Structure 1
């Protein structure tokens, strides 16, 4: 059991957990749902063991109360759920996903977390290009996941790869979805840039992976991700301006004016911008999905229909509710509407509090220096930008996808929420000694 405490195991296990959370479709599409289930079972078991072995580092008072409140709401929703057995399953999945994320928080430092995230996103992007190359160079036709029988003529939306690499099409990579691959590229771009700026990777290696991330964003061509790149850039500039400013008041005033101007320009030019991005004003059919979700949510507005996370397409009220391209839609394509639908206004308020509290702590971490000794000026570090930039990207995605509530998206939110409260950056003085802005 001593092996569980070794640095190599902690880093490797954390990387495996995050890869599985962010690239779960890779395991499902290649090993089937049964293989994926076996992997998840192993992860859950080891995560629980790690939590027990490191329980001295985990104080209940150190966990965000808003996170505990949201988990409580999703669990208690079983009592009023329209589908109580499935809500029990959904709440259990939410709890074990949280446990896996917390096990990472208490076993990794901030710099180790940055390193592991670098491994994970390099693996996702690198394997995606290798996968698409093999499909286009050798198989030469679209392929389905292993659990789909092609002779059944399933919907084209279920293709794992569309064989589009050599024609500069919207590649889907090992995730089987161009939007999710684009999001992985954006998150990877943030991690790679921070690693390069903090000199934790060589310049050649760092710029190479930044180039891979940018190329992936270009090939996936997701409008949401293009907006995410802009928002992340604005947040990064704002944080750097504030952390370097002599007058915080003037800095915040300037940032506020800049954000308002950008928001106004974006609103006034929204139709031309959507046209350039190849999107209609219905946002690729999402407006129709949102309308149906809102209509269903208003039937049980206060407490919702009961927590599920992913929708269960064969039960009421989701059976036949929304289909796109012959495939049942499994989430609201908007995290906020999904929370309202499943746990009502009560759950929505708690979730908003969780996000806002995490944003505030992440912003303070990004803009305030690390003080390691009484009386010394705070030192500013690049790794301090990690949670605020990653969370900014996730929140942009939350408007068009519900992934922040699911699998790797939820893991990352839990990591930012718990680690910004439980493990202050000042607890790792070696960071400030190695990298400064």
Structure 2
């Protein structure tokens, strides 16, 4: 007959730790905000400009209210100050703007996107953030393929925004061109633009791969999501996205090589090789641009972009230092932009180069601030990825695949910014601010006030898919035992196994 021992060897059994309903709702809201930024113009195409504007403003106000109510820990000295400086300068440009109405409207979008980015980076831990991004990307990928399938099966012809079936003056006006079964026609997804769908699909490939490397559950479904993202990336057929993918591959290989260095100075050869490949690649791209872009089905002037750059730079030269006033994107209904530059019969809404765009809007001062912002982001993201996590004398902690995300996102945005202005708004701007601020607030995954307090206050169940190490039998270690592992890590005699538990990273291996 079995009896209970008065001196049990382990804690008595109890119900599993459940994630609090409030935090589930908070994470769901963050996923919705990320989905809004990643889906971009889909909201305008589906519901109209007024509805999309109301949803955007209401979403920003709700996040501010949640921030005030939740009061998450924030190290105010470690805010992304170059972001603050750029936003402040853009706001100040309202005083001399040549298009004050457009400046006021687009500044509201800039402020809302910035606040949303800081909010998400503050209330979510690193693992939660990557999970939330993955969830939002699943919605974008799924709705894009379902939308194209619906048009192909039930409509059978291209449709205009607002679900209108009519003949367009130019194919660029179509929301969907009904190309799903018309290979090699380009797919546009819910964004209505292949050049917007392709970089988001590339981002999805990266995020799903990071999730797989981190040991996330339901791996079969993750492989399916990655396959769908690869298909949409290929069918979007964006030349800029192909170049961004090449840059991502170079950065990823270099980071993994950097992580193998074990002696001081060993990384020098990799830096030299990285610089040689980068400079050589740019030089080859410039000298062989005719052949490269012809092979990609594009003209050597990047489909008319050089003409747009000339017109924008000519206007920028009239006010070189302070610019004409913030307007990202250009508001086509404003007299200053209406029919200023026409492409395919449509008023152009951007300069198709973020540096040229900022030079015209905010002058040389704005370009310098943006350059400092991106330099700070890329610098921190790079060392966040290549340096082994260390905050004490121990120097053998394992790398986390999650640390690859910021530097790979930076590679996408910098390449995309050469032919598009989209890194200045929507998901491009949100991710730069969100990831840059998160690195400053939490330079180590799962370690620090911003990471630990969030985990403790919310039940620490948010990281259940990755952070809790498994027992040999396959079950997760109990939270109490994890806490004892963290305590053991603080002792000078802690073993590598105990400290690996303290980090709570299932991806306990060198990438």
TM-score band by shorter chain is: over 0.9
Between stretches 281-290 and 315-324, larger displacement belongs to: 315-324
Moved more, 259-268 or 366-375: 259-268
Q: Please state how far the C-alpha of 1:433 moved relative to its aligned partner.
A: 5.0
Which one of the candidate residues 38, 43, 66 is aligned to 2:82?
66
RMSD of aligned C-alpha atoms? 2.1
- Whether the 8 Å CA contact 1:32–1:147 is kept in 2: the answer is no
Q: Is the 8 A contact 1:4 1:50 kept in 2?
A: no
Q: Given that residues 359 and 366 in structure 2 are in contact (C-alpha distance below 8 angstroms), is that contact kept between their aligned partners in structure 1?
A: yes
Q: Measure, in 2, the Cα distance between the counterparts of 1:381 and 1:375.
A: 16
Map of 1:46 onto structure 2: 62
What is the alpha-carbon distance in structure 2 between the residues aligned to residue 91 and residue 59 of structure 1? 26
1-structure distance, mates of 2:217, 2:341: 46
Do the aligned partners of 1:10 and 1:108 also contact (CA within 8 Å) in 2? no
Kindly indicate whether residue 339 of structure 2 is the aligned counterpart of residue 323 of structure 1: no
Preserved CA contact (<8 Å) 2:323 2:360: yes
Bigger radius of gyration among the two: 2
Contact 2:72 2:123 in 1 (8 A): no
Report if aligned partners of 1:80, 1:306 keep a CA contact under 8 Å in 2: yes
- Taking structure 1 as the reference length, the TM-score comes to 0.94
> 26, 30, 38: which is aligned to 2:42?
26
Counterpart position of 2:207 = 191
* 1:124 partnered with 2:143: no
Q: Tell me, what secondary structure is at the counterpart of 2:351?
A: coil
Aligned residues: 434
User: Deviations for 1:309-340, whole angstroms, at most 9, x for unmatched residues?
Assistant: 11122334323211111111111111111111
Question: Relative to structure 1, is the Cα distance of residues 352 and 58 closer, same or farther in structure 2, using a 3 angstrom cutoff?
Answer: same
Q: How far apart are residue 263 of structure 1 and its match?
A: 3.6
Counterparts of residues 362-401 of structure 1 (less than 5 Å):
362-371=381-390, 373-401=392-420
2-structure distance, mates of 1:424, 1:19: 25
Question: Does the 8 A contact of 2:158 with 2:165 survive in 1?
Answer: no
Match of 2:174 in 1: 159
User: Counterparts of 2:390 and 2:27 in 1: how far apart (Å)?
Assistant: 27
Q: Does the 8 Å CA contact 2:325/2:361 hold for their aligned counterparts?
A: yes
2:388 and 2:395 in contact (8 A); partners too: no
Residue 243 of structure 1, aligned match among 259, 262, 268: 259
* 8 Å contact kept, 2:102–2:330: no
In 1, the alpha carbon distance for the partners of 2:424 and 2:20 equals 29
The 8 Å contact of residues 111 and 431 in structure 1, kept in 2 or not, is answered as: no
- State the shift of 1:376 in Å: 4.0
Question: Aligned pair 1:81/2:97, yes or no?
Answer: yes
Q: Note closer, same or farther for the CA distance 1:107–1:295 as it changes in structure 2 (3 Å cut).
A: same
Q: Provide Cα deviations, 1:213-249, integer angstroms capped at 9, x if missing partner.
A: 2111211111001101100000000111111123122
Q: Distance in 2 between matches of 1:28 and 1:364?
A: 38
Question: Could you list the runs of 5+ residues in structure 1 that have no partner in the other structure?
Answer: none
Aligned to 1:211: 227
1:377-409 CA distance string (max 9 Å, x none): 232111000000011111111111111111222
SS in 1 for 2:414: helix
Deviates more, 1:357-366 or 1:405-414: 405-414
Cα drift, residue 93 of structure 1: 2.0
The 5 A counterparts of 1:262-277 are 262-277=281-296
Q: Contact conserved, 1:320 with 1:328, CA < 8 A, in 2?
A: yes
CA distance in 1, matches of 2:287, 2:52: 46
Q: Conserved in 1, the CA contact under 8 Å of 2:97 and 2:326?
A: yes
Check the 8 A contact 2:57/2:112 in 1, yes or no. Answer: no
Displacement after TM superposition at 1:431 (Å): 4.7
C-alpha spacing 1:324/1:396, structure 2 compared with 1 (3 Å): same
* Residue number in structure 1 paired with 2:370: 351
Cα deviation digits, residues 144-200 of structure 1 (max 9, x gap): 11186847x554322110011101210111110011111111111110111111121
Give the corresponding residue for 1:414. 433
298, 312, 330: which is aligned to 1:293? 312
Aligned partners of 2:334 and 2:219: how far apart in 1? Answer: 53
Alignment of 1:130-145 (within 5 A): 130-145=146-161
> Is the Cα contact below 8 Å between 2:243 and 2:415 reproduced in 1?
yes
Q: For 1:286 and 1:139, locate their aligned partners in 2 and report how far apart those are by CA, in whole Å.
A: 33
How far the C-alpha of 1:203 sits from its partner, in A, is 3.6
Partner of 1:335: 354
Normalising by the residue count of structure 2, what TM-score does the alignment of the two structures yield? 0.81
Instruction: Provide the C-alpha distance between the structure 2 equivalents of 1:139 and 1:431, rounded to a whole number of angstroms.
Output: 50
What is the rounded CA distance, in whole Å, between the counterparts of 2:186 and 2:330 in structure 1?
A: 26
Instruction: Identify the residue that residue 90 of structure 1 maps to in structure 2.
Output: 106
User: 1:373: how far off?
Assistant: 5.0
Q: Is the 8 A contact 1:132 1:171 kept in 2?
A: yes
Q: Is the 8 A contact 1:161 1:172 kept in 2?
A: yes
Select the structure that is richer in helix. Answer: 1
Deviates more, 1:184-193 or 1:317-326: 317-326
1:218 match: secondary structure: helix
Structure 2 counterpart of 1:281:
300
